[in-house]
């Protein structure tokens, strides 16, 4: 065992989890506060955890600890991550929401009604890849899912679950998703490499999900149609960003192209006034401030935990339980999955797991792109099904706003995509040889 190993160094993580989980459960289930977990000031809780880390290891002076924190926060990957967060926020602020709705209503208008639920899933996949946010996709498309269910007679939990599943597809793959940004920059790999690694895992799960949804849909008695105005010109910025990311253009250049093209289209079509466009840019960037601050605080905490021997303790634990390269991959999946269950936030889970996963990758010979893929995929699997995650809570809230009642436990059995994504991930770990780094 590494002599530097010190399980007590993990106390700050334990303090964070106890406070966050304890307050979240109290708010959500005891006080019955809507979106209880998301009323907790996560930045404040992380500051408490950082304070605990600073009080540990009296042999290191406070000045030395500040220097260690500065070194952790100043890592080039962390700086890049924060800048991409802000640029992605500006892009989403510019292009707005009408594009997502246009895609949905366009698809529903040209495809027969019996395929409407499968269309919802496919549209959610596209929109979430383009927008980079599962919660945003669910917010936009759940009202359409309710309308499809009401007009056609399709089972509402199936319609809502299909939107949620498609939303997690894009959350896992999008070049501007905060999970992708966090995983790639945390592991120092190119987004296009992580995308290719992930796409091979996600595509089979998505195809099988469509098959299952169609099998259930085609046995349903349906009637009615869904119609709504749409404009496809607003989709152009999304397509440019998606194409640029796949080709491998620098992510900042891709986002600038998206921001400029989106601004031109919004102004040229009269969708927004110039002053409103600037306001939306600011709002989009502001929406990323908490995520950026979490990345900074977690980097500072992890720098101290590493210095105090916490990472060595985790590695020793993983060595005892998981053996070999495949075992190391499962260990990463379990680590980020456990953090996601505890935090109900897959981006936070990835940011917390990143430095530990990097050590595991080095120990077990796992490539950076594979590591980034595993962190993003397993966090999305768990985030997609937990009943207290933002995705589930937003979906239930949207259904309730439309005048219907639904519970998480109505939806969970029909979340086919996250379950199939887990199966696909395990198949790739155990039966598909890893590609060699170029």
pLDDT given at position 414: 94
> How many other CB atoms sit within 10 Å of the CB of residue 436?
6
436 inside domain? no
When divided into structural domains, the chain yields a total of: 1
Question: Rounded to two decimals, what is the model's pTM?
Answer: 0.76
pLDDT given at position 1: 40
pLDDT given at position 3: 47
> How many other CB atoms sit within 10 Å of the CB of residue 427?
13
Round to whole Å and give the CA distance between 164 and 142.
8
What whole-number percentage of the chain has pLDDT above 70? 92
| 144, 161, 167 from 151: Cα distances, Å | 10, 17, 22
Domain limits for position 306? 7-431
pLDDT given at position 2: 44
120 in Cβ contact with 104 (< 8 Å): yes
* Nearest alpha carbon to residue 297 among 149, 78, 150: 78
Provide the terminal-to-terminal Cα distance of the chain, rounded to the nearest Å.
Answer: 34
pLDDT given at position 161: 95
Residue 6, helix vs strand vs coil: coil
Write down the number of H helices and E strands in the chain.
Answer: 21, 0
CA 226 to chain centre: 30
Contacts with 149 (C-beta within 8 Å, 6 or more apart), sequence order: 155, 156, 159
Round to whole Å and give the CA distance between 397 and 412.
15
Round to whole Å and give the CA distance between 87 and 176.
9
242 inside domain? yes
2 inside domain? no
331 in Cβ contact with 360 (< 8 Å): yes
What is the tens place of the pLDDT at every residue in 420-431? 999 999 999 998
Structural tokens at position 275: 């002053």
What is the tens place of the pLDDT at every residue in 48-75? 999 999 998 888 888 999 999 998 888 7
231 inside domain? yes
pLDDT given at position 219: 73
Low-confidence ranges of the chain (pLDDT < 70): 1-3, 35-38, 96-103, 220-230, 248, 342, 434-438
219 inside domain? yes
CA 286 to chain centre: 18
437 inside domain? no
134 in Cβ contact with 167 (< 8 Å): yes
H runs (alpha helix) in 174-250? 178-187, 191-217, 236-247
419 inside domain? yes
1 inside domain? no
Residue in the block written with tokens 């969970």: 412
């Amino acid at each position: 065992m590494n002599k530097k190993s010190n399980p007590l160094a993990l106390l700050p993580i334990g303090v964070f989890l106890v406070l966050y989980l304890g307050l979240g459960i109290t708010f959500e289930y005891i006080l019955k506060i809507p979106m209880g977990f998301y009323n907790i000031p996560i930045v404040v809780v992380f500051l408490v955890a950082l304070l605990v880390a600073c009080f540990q290891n009296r042999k290191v002076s406070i000045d030395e600890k500040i220097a260690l924190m500065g070194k952790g926060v100043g890592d080039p990957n962390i700086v890049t991550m924060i800048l991409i967060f802000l640029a992605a926020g500006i892009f989403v602020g510019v292009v707005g929401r009408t594009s997502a709705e246009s895609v949905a209503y366009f698809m529903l208008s040209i495809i027969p009604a019996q395929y409407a639920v499968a269309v919802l899933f496919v549209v959610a996949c596209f929109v979430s890849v383009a927008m980079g946010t599962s919660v945003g996709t669910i917010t936009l498309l759940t009202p359409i899912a309710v309308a499809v269910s009401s007009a056609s007679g399709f089972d509402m939990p199936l319609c809502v679950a299909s939107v949620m599943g498609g939303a997690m597809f894009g959350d896992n793959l999008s070049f501007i998703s905060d999970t992708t940004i966090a995983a790639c920059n945390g592991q120092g790999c190119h987004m296009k490499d992580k995308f290719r690694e992930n796409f091979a895992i996600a595509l089979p799960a998505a195809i099988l999900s469509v098959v299952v949804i169609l099998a259930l849909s085609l046995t349903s008695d349906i009637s009615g149609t869904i119609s709504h105005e749409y404009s496809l010109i607003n989709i152009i910025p999304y397509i440019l960003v998606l194409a640029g990311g796949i080709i491998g253009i620098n992510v900042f250049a891709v986002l600038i192209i998206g921001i400029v093209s989106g601004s031109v289209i919004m102004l040229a079509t009269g969708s927004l006034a110039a002053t409103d466009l600037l306001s939306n840019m600011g709002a989009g960037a502001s929406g990323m401030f908490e995520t950026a601050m979490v990345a900074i605080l977690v980097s500072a905490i992890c720098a101290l935990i590493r210095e105090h021997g916490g990472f060595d303790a985790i590695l020793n634990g993983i060595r005892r339980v998981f053996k070999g390269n495949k075992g190391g991959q499962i260990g990463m999946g379990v680590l980020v999955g456990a953090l996601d269950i505890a935090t109900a936030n897959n981006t936070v889970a990835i940011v917390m797991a990143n430095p530990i996963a990097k050590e595991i990758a080095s120990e077990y010979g796992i490539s950076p792109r594979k590591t980034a893929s595993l962190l993003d995929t397993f966090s999305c699997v768990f985030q997609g099904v937990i009943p207290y995650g933002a995705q589930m809570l937003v979906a239930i809230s949207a259904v309730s706003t439309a005048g219907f009642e639904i519970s998480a436990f109505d939806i969970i059995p029909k979340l086919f995509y996250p379950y199939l994504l887990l199966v696909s991930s395990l198949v790739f770990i155990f039966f598909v040889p890893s590609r060699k780094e170029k």
